[in-house]
Chain A
Amino acid sequence: MTASSAGWALLGGMMIGVASALLLWGIGRSAGVSGIAAGLLSFGSAPGRERDWAWRAEFMAGLLAGGLLLRWWMPGALGVPALSLGILALAGLLVGFGARLGGGCTSGHGICGLGRLSRRSLVAVPVFMVTAMITVALVRYLGMRG
């Protein structure tokens, strides 16, 4: 990667950090996207940490609006995985299931959890990084990537 793309990556990351901090400061919630999404599925259930549909829907709407901005202002920013539909569907299932089971995703564990120095996240992050790397290596070896 070039120095300028590293710069953009750092800037983008800091924006994510600011957004996460704002969410925590403003409404006391963590910006772990899998958790926010999971809570959307739980509306109507017994009171617990998964309720409060409105802010979750608003955050998601913000994600989509941001996506539209990117689509208009940064052509090529929104990519598509080069995978067969079957593998893509499987991957989506695994990401959702794994995030729910493990209590977080890259933003939940990787940013919010690590930011809190959570032991759970200090375990989860290396685990998913390593399994992801092994998966990529296997996919390469098996010639699956389109």
Chain B
Amino acid sequence: MKHLYPFVTGLLFAVGLGLGGMTRPEKIIGFLDVGGAWDASLIFVMGGALLVYLPFVQWPRRASPALARQLGPRQGPIDRALVGGAAIFGVGWGLSGLCPGPAIVALAGGQPALYLFVACLFLGLALGRRWAPG
């Protein structure tokens, strides 16, 4: 049961991504392509996710100080690593229309291009560790 739980949440997460169109890179590019025909799907997906997740996090924080400590945001600095990392991520995301979640889900489609992308993604994660603070 304990091992099934994260599996089921991953499965639900993946189906949500798929239903939301996020496993189709052209939909992400369509959102990021502010000059062209604009696809607002990402906004609805993120909005839908936050509609559920934000109250879920915020309500217990108000209800209990102990929970508040546990659920509080990571108290890290807003530093060059954060901004630089986000910018670098943005370039990769803008080039491919893929970020980690959808890319891993899309592996199930059996396309070699995705295998390449995800392999390089993991390599990037490993390399990033040397540079990441803490």
Measured CB to CB, the residues of A under 8 A from B are 1, 5-6, 8-28, 31, 33-34, 37-38, 41-42, 54-56, 58-71, 74, 76-83, 85, 87-103, 105-107, 109-121, 123-125, 127-137, 139-140, 145
Contacts and interface: CB of A to CB of B under 8 A. Distances in A.
B73 A9 contact: no
A137 B35 contact: yes
By Cβ-Cβ distance, the 5 closest A-B pairs, closest first, are A62-B10, A66-B14, A13-B48, A96-B124, A102-B85
Interface centre among B5, B70, B71 (most CB of A within 10 A): B5
Nearest to B100: A33
Given A14-B48, A34-B99, A37-B122, 14 more contacts: A9-B48, A13-B20, A27-B5, A65-B7, A66-B11, A71-B109, A81-B96, A87-B96, A91-B120, A94-B88, A100-B129, A102-B83, A117-B54, A127-B87
Nearest to A28: B70
A125 B51 CA distance: 17
A98 B45 contact: no
Contacts of B97: 81
Contacts, number: 477
B66 interface: no
A38 B125 contact: yes
Given A9-B45, A12-B48, A133-B94, A67 B109 contact: yes
Given A37-B125, A80-B111, A10 B18 contact: no
Contact of B105 (A14, A70, A91): A70
Contacts of A97: 85, 88-89, 92, 124-125, 127-128, 131
**Majority SS at the chain B contact face:** helix
Nearest to A96: B124
Interface of B: 3-27, 29, 32-36, 39-42, 44-54, 56-58, 70-74, 76-78, 81-101, 103-111, 113-114, 116-129, 131-132
Given A62-B13, A136-B29, A102 B86 contact: yes
Contacts of B6: 23, 26-27, 54-56, 58-59, 62
B8 A9 contact: no
B81 to A, nearest CB: 5
A132 B91 contact: yes
A111 B82 CA distance: 16
Given A13-B49, A19-B16, A114-B50, A98 B100 contact: no
A99 B119 CA distance: 15
Contacts of A83: 95-96, 113
